[in-house]
């Protein structure tokens, strides 16, 4: 039996067994637990709890029947409030340790901490449908994911009609419970598209990047704005939290300013910023996303945004107009050295940095803070009950 000291950044309990740091799944601080070691090397051990001897007051019964084996969630055994505390502490620790930043963090809660995901990616292996077990390629068969929206779960039971043995399936849904389904497989797929479309609101089915049925894109609505989204374009998985990010953009963009939205996806933040800005430049590397952005500009009757296809680090250098505000919403890898240097050559008065990885955020802020002051810091619970967290940092150029 061991006593758990604290949680690591993946939500695992940390303890020491024979002086070796040990990470235990499903263990909470101060709990005394029995355990089974699943991995051991010179530096650390991993294991799982077999019996809880002394239970934490923060523990709740995880509602998902697959929670113990599925690698998707890691915080369902905590109360929702405590998951937020964990995320706040995690971002605080990372920013303090790697960037010496100790700003106050404001929390944006998820109004629907279950059934929020508008996109679910599943594996089919040897006919079994599910997710990979944490850190393995073993399938955990599931019939439902509590994080996904209801219409996605309703569709899961009918995936069998495709008669697939091995495949990757991504299901997206929109504001109107319509579905866009993308399948990657080497199998011969059964053409059951029309039958399925009678049972579900299917807008399109894409097989191996080719349109098999309907359309390869659909329309979503967030905060009264319309967005066309192609099956392979990025779109935030949680529209309620995306709406909260829109409110921050609306507040932080000042009237008549020139804005660049780097890594703009289908143009969401650029279009929101265009309501107040004089001119907006949106930059994105995926061609389909830029095609969506151009349609989105028209659908939202916006005429002060220029969408540019290409690498943000290169395009930003080519903009001749003086840029006042840069919105930075990069992938998990954060800013490349070149992108960061090119932003610092422009030195806009305002930066809005949206990040889905606090480690790369801390790395980039450690450089940016030499020239910018952080005026506000938020974490938004975009990915409830997982250890992932979205951070939004507002920065002002130092005098």
Ligand X SMILES: C[S@@+](CC[C@H](N)C(=O)[O-])C[C@H]1O[C@@H](n2cnc3c(N)ncnc32)[C@H](O)[C@@H]1O
CB of 330 to ligand X, least distance (A): 6
- The span of 37-45, 52-60, 246-254, 326-334 binding ligand X (CB under 6 A) equals 326-334
Asked if 357 touches ligand X (CB under 6 A), the answer is no
Which residue, 45 or 292, has its beta carbon nearer to ligand X? 292
Asked if 312 touches ligand X (CB under 6 A), the answer is yes
Asked if 350 touches ligand X (CB under 6 A), the answer is no
What number of CA atoms fall less than 13 Å from residue 69's CA on the CB side? 11
Asked if 285 touches ligand X (CB under 6 A), the answer is yes
C-alpha–C-alpha distance, residues 202 and 181, integer Å: 8
* 318 Cβ contact partners less than 8 Å away, ≥ 6 residues apart: none
Per-position DSSP letters for 344-384, written without gaps between them: HHH--SEEEEEES-HHHHHHHHHHHTTTEEEEEEEEE-TTT
Residues 66-95 that bind ligand X (CB under 6 A): none
Q: Give the dihedral of Cα atoms 132, 135, 136, 142; nearest 10 deg.
A: -20
288-297 core/surface letters (b: 16 or more CB in 10 A; e: else): bbbbbbbbbb
**Going residue by residue from 245 to 284, which x/- string records binding to ligand X, judged by CB under 6 A?**
------------------xxx--xx-------------xx
The H-or-E segment that residue 50 falls in is strand 44-54
Q: Give the dihedral of Cα atoms 189, 220, 218, 229; nearest 10 deg.
A: -90
Asked if 108 touches ligand X (CB under 6 A), the answer is no
C-alpha–C-alpha distance, residues 219 and 392, integer Å: 26
Asked if 343 touches ligand X (CB under 6 A), the answer is no
The residue from 70, 264, 356, 393 that is catalytic is 356
Q: Which residue has 């599910």 as its token pair?
A: 130
Beta bridge partners of 199: none
- The span of 121-129, 206-214, 232-240, 249-257 binding ligand X (CB under 6 A) equals 232-240
Number of residues counted as binding ligand X (CB under 6 A): 18
CB of 309 to ligand X, least distance (A): 9
Asked if 244 touches ligand X (CB under 6 A), the answer is no
C-alpha–C-alpha distance, residues 321 and 158, integer Å: 52
Which residue, 312 or 379, has its beta carbon nearer to ligand X? 312
- The span of 54-62, 66-74, 94-102, 228-236 binding ligand X (CB under 6 A) equals 228-236
- Residue 393 annotated to the active site: no
Give the CB-nearest residue to ligand X.
265
Query: Could you say which of 35, 193, 234, 372 contacts ligand X (CB under 6 A)?
Result: 234
Tokens of 288: 């389909």
Which residue, 354 or 395, has its beta carbon nearer to ligand X? 354
Q: Give residues in contact with ligand X (CB under 6 A).
A: 234-236, 263-265, 268-269, 283-286, 289, 311-312, 329-331
Catalytically annotated residues: 356
């Amino acid at each position: 039996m061991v006593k758990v000291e604290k949680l690591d950044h993946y939500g695992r309990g940390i303890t020491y067994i024979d002086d070796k740091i040990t990470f235990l799944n499903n263990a909470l601080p101060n709990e005394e637990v029995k355990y089974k070691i699943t991995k051991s090397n010179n530096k650390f051990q991993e294991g799982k709890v077999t019996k809880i001897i002394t239970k934490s007051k923060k523990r709740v019964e995880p509602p998902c029947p697959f929670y113990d084996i599925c690698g998707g969630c890691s915080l369902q055994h905590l109360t929702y409030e405590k998951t937020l505390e964990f995320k706040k502490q995690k971002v605080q620790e990372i920013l303090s340790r790697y960037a010496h930043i100790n700003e106050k963090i404001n929390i944006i809660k998820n109004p629907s901490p279950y059934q929020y995901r508008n996109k679910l990616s599943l594996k089919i292996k040897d006919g079994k449908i599910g997710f990979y077990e944490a850190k393995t390629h073993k399938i955990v068969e599931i019939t439902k994911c509590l994080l996904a929206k209801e219409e996605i779960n309703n569709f899961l039971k009918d995936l069998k009609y495709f008669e697939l043995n091995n495949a990757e399936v991504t299901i997206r849904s929109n504001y109107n419970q319509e579905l866009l389904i993308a399948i990657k497989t080497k199998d011969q797929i059964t053409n059951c598209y029309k039958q399925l479309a009678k049972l579900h609101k299917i807008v399109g089915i894409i097989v191996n990047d080719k349109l098999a049925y309907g359309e390869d894109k659909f329309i979503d609505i967030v905060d009264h704005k319309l967005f066309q989204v192609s099956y392979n374009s990025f779109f935030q998985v949680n529209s309620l939290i995306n709406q909260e990010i829109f409110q921050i953009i609306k507040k932080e963009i000042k009237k008549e300013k020139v804005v660049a939205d780097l890594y703009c996806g289908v143009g969401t933040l650029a279009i929101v910023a265009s309501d107040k800005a004089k001119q907006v430049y949106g930059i994105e590397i995926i061609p389909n996303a830029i095609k969506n952005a151009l349609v989105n500009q028209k659908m939202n009757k916006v005429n002060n945004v220029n969408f540019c296809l290409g690498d943000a680090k290169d395009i930003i250098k080519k903009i001749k107009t003086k840029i006042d505000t840069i919105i930075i919403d990069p992938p998990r890898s954060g800013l490349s050295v070149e992108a960061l240097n090119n932003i610092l050559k422009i030195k806009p008065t305002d930066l809005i940095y949206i990040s889905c990885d606090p480690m790369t955020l801390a790395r980039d802020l450690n450089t940016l803070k030499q020239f910018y002051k952080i005026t506000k810091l938020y974490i938004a619970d975009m990915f409830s009950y997982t250890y992932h967290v979205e951070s939004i940092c507002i920065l002002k150029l130092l005098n």
